[in-house]
Amino acid sequence: MNSDSKNRIECLREQLHTHNYNYYVLNQPTISDIEFDQKLKELQDLESQYPEFFDSNSPTMRVGSDISEGFKQVAHKYPMLSLSNTYSESEVTEFYERTKKLINEDVELVCELKYDGTSISLTYENGNLIQAITRGDGEKGDDVTVNVKTIRSIPLKLSGSGYPALFEIRGEILMPWQVFDDLNKEREAQEEQLFANPRNAASGTLKLQNSSEVAKRKLDAYLYYMLGESLPGKTHFENLQKAKSWGFKISEATKVCKSLQEVFDFINYWDKERKNLAVATDGIVIKVNSLLQQMNLGYTAKSPRWAIAYKFQAEQACTRLNSVSFQVGRTGAVTPVANLDPVQLSGTTVKRASLHNASIIEGLDLHIGDMVFVEKGGEIIPKIVGIDKQARLLLGDKVKFIKKCPECGTELIRVEGEAAHYCPNEEGCPPQLKGKIEHFVSRKAMNITAGVETVEQLFDKGYIRNIADLYTLRWEDLLLLERWGEKSAKNLIQSIENSKLVPFERVLFGLGIRYVGETVAKKLALTLHNIEALETVSFEELITIEEIGDRIARSILDFFANQNNQKLVNRLKSYGLNFQIDEQKVVKSSNKLDGKSIVISGTFAKYSRDELKIMVEQHGGKNVASVSAKTDFILAGENMGPSKLEKAQKLGVKLITENDFLMMIE
């Protein structure tokens, strides 16, 4: 009986995988929805009856579960870099000519649609999906495998043959326009905040903690790049065609171009035709077809040299300007926002547009009641790019930038060399105070489970006035507020307690020092090791740290010169936050690299670049960014930058592998 049941389960799984592929990838269903649902129900019943035949890639996993854990972070085997953007045919020509010159041979290009969704990396082992990771920061991302399994256009098991035993394929997860519109209608009916665009909706959906809810959102996916050690083809296009035969959804709008004119023909065709697509696109991706040429071209720190993105010119719409409001951010920057008659643009309803700063307003010569041209060029909030002056009938008041903060009434200032106006009242302006707390509790900083609404409620009720006040909250006090139960109150308090374990570099980022982002905070932590060193560091010492220039250095010095900030940091210290780097990251293990200047370039199999940099310092070495005659050696990984390689050869600088380096410091 068990044997018969097992055979029936395997038969149903195979049938349902095929029907999923026919419906969601080929768009050619061969059975009715009712028949499909009946087969799925039968399989669910059998799997429930015989749990010993469980398979994590069964078609029943597509419906998701209401039990999901928080997402763990996973390092990418290959960094997920972004593409350089171009906006004109002349820039595409420059890319083409530069590429030919670098490799000194003819180049064949592949053109693809640039889908506007959220990037994903899928790993398959022996034909089974084993992991799905978001882009994250490019070096590591969130493991969203459970949620990705609900996307029916992504194969859980591959069909056909010839696929590598282990490989990675990357693509874009999308929310179709129709699904996006339906979702926003539902949210509007329930008086929930609307999604700004399908990209945000897809990204937000992928991070939901309830995979059954993800399944309801009907996400789609297109795959566009394969990585691995045993790929079947020698060109990018060959590999895409192979991937298609294994069940992946590969865009039909993919073309091998043998000349620049063919590239421009492709761009011009899809610039018009994209408006008829079911999903959002914002450009064309142009890639070198040969994998050998890709490898020889390599990467810059941020993007591959063998690919670029051509961005379509943003769509425009004309509508009426009704008023201008001014918003204050956490750094005190004041942003003017135009309030408009609703207008359709790039598939969404636009009611507001950014005016950026006083110079933009002055340059546009805006008046209330003007008919304005609105553009949406990859921004959530569109911008006004011009005025239809011929449409002026009754001229309203001229739009002028305000002189005082709209929230606290403080006289605004404008820093020399900067376009923005600022409210200098850091300690008393409510949006700045709330914004600093929102930044502090954010996931990339302290990861405290308090959203914008929670921060606003706690602030408005007088429970918190700054980030240190979070550590004085008691769950019993939270119960006195609306919408708080014992469980949610204790969860927040536990989350605050857990934040005391957050590493120093994230605490430093959470302080919200102007211009100190994630990367700069990490550099400061690795170089200075603790908050006391940062409080007493000089301007001259700061600007010697990689990526820190005059502006960032002055901002850091100004922050720690402020007595209120000093008191704030001291309070946070007293509550037990982590204000020194993990000793294992900085403890000196040996003197083997004493006095040596080392450049690290490329990608590595065993460790990330940041981890290798820590090892260099642990053994007495110094990390330097560029190759010079003073460089002792280059730790060279895969896809080392051609310019660094050329300079190393010219200067006679030695190159060593990751294994050589590890043997050197053992």
- Rounded distance, CA 155 to CA 144, Å? 15
The pLDDT of residue 606: 75
- Rounded distance, CA 516 to CA 521, Å? 6
Q: How far, CA to CA in Å, does 113 sit from each of 198, 233, 248, 275, 341?
A: 16, 21, 16, 12, 32
| Structure tokens that stand for 313 in this block | 């010119």
Q: Is the pLDDT of residue 462 over 90?
A: yes
pLDDT tens-digit map of 583-622 = 666 666 788 898 899 998 877 777 767 678 878 888 888 8
| Structure tokens that stand for 332 in this block | 């005190």
The pLDDT of residue 570: 96
Residue-wise DSSP of 603-635: B-SSS-HHHHHHHHHHTT-EE-SS--TT--EEE
Tell me the mean pLDDT in the region 572-579.
Answer: 96
Average pLDDT of the chain, as a whole number: 88
| Structure tokens that stand for 591 in this block | 């003197």
Q: Is residue 270 very low, low, confident or very high in pLDDT (cuts 50, 70, 90)?
A: very high
- How do strand 597-601 and strand 622-623 relate by DSSP bridges? parallel
Do 341 and 363 contact (CB within 8 A), yes or no? no
| Better-predicted residue by pLDDT, 378 or 477 | 477
Tell me the mean pLDDT in the region 116-141.
Answer: 92
pLDDT tens-digit map of 145-198 = 999 999 999 999 999 999 999 999 999 999 998 898 888 877 766 556 677 778
- Rounded distance, CA 1 to CA 6, Å? 9
Q: Is the pLDDT of residue 346 over 70?
A: no
Hey, which residues are catalytic here? Answer: 114
Q: Which of 175, 582, 547, 553 is nearest to 348 (CA)?
A: 175
Q: Is the pLDDT of residue 66 over 70?
A: no
| Structure tokens that stand for 266 in this block | 């492709």
pLDDT tens-digit map of 434-451 = 999 999 999 889 999 998
The pLDDT of residue 67: 41
Q: How many residues does the chain have?
A: 666
DSSP SS3 for 126: coil
Tell me the mean pLDDT in the region 294-310.
Answer: 89
Q: Please, what's the b/e burial string for 650-661 (b: 16 or more CB within 10 A of its CB; e: otherwise)?
A: eeebebbebeeb
Q: Is the pLDDT of residue 1 over 70?
A: no
Residue labelled with tokens 């090892």: 615
- Any residues with CB less than 8 A from the CB of 74 and at least 6 apart, and which? 131, 133, 140, 141, 142, 143
The pLDDT of residue 587: 65
Q: Is the pLDDT of residue 360 over 90?
A: no
DSSP SS3 for 256: strand
pLDDT tens-digit map of 500-539 = 999 999 999 999 998 898 878 988 998 888 999 999 999 9
Domains of the chain plus CATH, in order, are 2-63 (1.10.287.610), 84-311 (3.30.470.30), 315-414 (2.40.50.140), 430-501 (1.10.150.20), 504-584 (1.10.150.20), 588-665 (3.40.50.10190)
| Structure tokens that stand for 400 in this block | 């002028």
- Any residues with CB less than 8 A from the CB of 516 and at least 6 apart, and which? 508, 509, 524, 552, 555, 556
Residue-wise DSSP of 344-372: EETTEEEEEEE--SHHHHHHHT-BTT-EE
| Better-predicted residue by pLDDT, 649 or 22 | 649
Do 228 and 78 contact (CB within 8 A), yes or no? no
DSSP SS3 for 301: coil
Q: Which of 326, 560, 568, 550 is nearest to 440 (CA)?
A: 568
Q: Is the pLDDT of residue 70 over 70?
A: no
DSSP SS3 for 415: coil
CB-count burial class (<10 Å; 0-12, 13-18, 19+) for 65: middle
% residues pLDDT > 70 (the chain):
93
DSSP SS3 for 574: helix
CA geometry: angle 387, 311, 281, nearest 5 deg: 100
Instruction: Residue 7: count other Cβ atoms within 10 Å of its Cβ.
Output: 10
Q: Is the pLDDT of residue 405 over 60?
A: yes
| Better-predicted residue by pLDDT, 251 or 62 | 251
- Looking at 348-471, which runs of residues are DSSP E strands? 348-354, 371-376, 383-387, 413-414, 421-422
Q: Is the pLDDT of residue 227 over 50?
A: yes
3-class SS letters over 215-237? HHCCCEEEEEEEECCCCCCCEHH
| Structure tokens that stand for 31 in this block | 């059975």
Residue labelled with tokens 């038969």: 11
Tell me the mean pLDDT in the region 308-333.
Answer: 89
> In 167-290, which ranges are continuous DSSP H helix?
177-189, 198-206, 211-216, 236-245, 260-273
| Structure tokens that stand for 544 in this block | 């010697």
Do 455 and 441 contact (CB within 8 A), yes or no? yes
| Better-predicted residue by pLDDT, 3 or 100 | 100
pLDDT tens-digit map of 187-218 = 766 556 677 778 888 988 888 877 888 888 99
The pLDDT of residue 575: 96
Q: Is residue 63 very low, low, confident or very high in pLDDT (cuts 50, 70, 90)?
A: low
- Cα(first)–Cα(last) distance of the chain, in Å? 58
Q: What are 497's strand-pairing partners?
A: none
Q: Is the pLDDT of residue 65 over 80?
A: no
The pLDDT of residue 379: 45
The pLDDT of residue 248: 97
Q: What are 276's strand-pairing partners?
A: none
% residues pLDDT > 90 (the chain):
51
Order of strands, sheet of 84-86, starting from the edge strand that comes earlier in the sequence: 84-86, 307-311, 281-288, 109-115, 254-257
Q: Please, what's the b/e burial string for 363-395 (b: 16 or more CB within 10 A of its CB; e: otherwise)?
A: ebebbbbbbbbbbbbeeeebbbeebeeeeeeee
| Structure tokens that stand for 366 in this block | 């805006």
Q: Which of 115, 397, 166, 77 is nearest to 277 (CA)?
A: 115
Residue 223, sorted as left (phi over 0), alpha (psi -120 to 50) or beta, turns out to be: beta
Cα–chain center distance at 446? 18
The pLDDT of residue 84: 86
Q: How far, CA to CA in Å, does 449 sit from each of 384, 438, 476, 480, 497?
A: 36, 10, 17, 19, 11
Q: Is the pLDDT of residue 557 over 60?
A: yes
CB-count burial class (<10 Å; 0-12, 13-18, 19+) for 175: buried
- Rounded distance, CA 348 to CA 148, Å? 26
Do 281 and 346 contact (CB within 8 A), yes or no? no
Q: Which of 539, 547, 542, 549 is nearest to 518 (CA)?
A: 547
